[in-house]
């Protein structure tokens, strides 16, 4: 499993003009699932995400986690996090888990965040919300070190 964690002033997911998920100033988390991902990956990603110290303390240092500040999270399934851009011009998604397998893992991710977050803050858009029309995408491109 992979996640991109973005602090946002606000975030919203729309499908066909209808808002299916929204959050104010906290975290937008894109979650991608790969072949072979399971419970251990899920637990690690939940723990890392809610405890990641990316909010400022009184001294202006990133020392507070989402749990520390009582913030919220918008969770969005994003298979493109598994896009492989190393060869050619078109990304390969061979390592991405099919939607039928990924959806339950993303749902469990959001549920675990809620459970470990005293029931506050996580909002998960409905199944395949981003899979309609022109979905958002996030790809990582790494420079090759020779």
- Residues sharing a CB contact under 8 Å with residue 12, sequence separation 6 or more, in sequence order: 19, 21, 22, 23
DSSP state, residue 139: -
d(CA 107, CA 126): 9
Which residues touch 32 (CB under 8 Å, ≥6 apart)? 1, 2, 3, 77, 78, 79, 80, 81, 82, 96, 102
Give the H/E segment covering residue 143. none
List residues with catalytic annotation.
78-80
């Amino acid at each position: 499993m992979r996640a991109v964690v973005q602090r946002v002033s606000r975030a919203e997911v729309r499908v066909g003009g209808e808002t299916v998920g929204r959050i104010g100033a906290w975290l937008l988390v894109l979650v991608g699932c790969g072949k072979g991902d399971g419970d251990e990956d899920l637990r690690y990603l939940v723990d890392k995400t809610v405890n990641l110290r990316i909010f400022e303390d009184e001294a202006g240092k990133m020392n507070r986690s989402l749990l520390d500040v009582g913030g919220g999270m918008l969770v969005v399934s994003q298979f493109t996090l598994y896009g492989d851009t190393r060869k050619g011009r078109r990304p390969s998604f061979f390592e991405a888990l099919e939607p039928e397998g990924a959806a339950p893992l993303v749902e469990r991710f959001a549920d675990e965040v809620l459970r470990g977050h005293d029931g506050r803050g996580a909002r998960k858009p409905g199944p395949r919300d981003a899979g309609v029309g022109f979905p958002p995408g996030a790809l990582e491109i790494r420079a090759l070190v020779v």
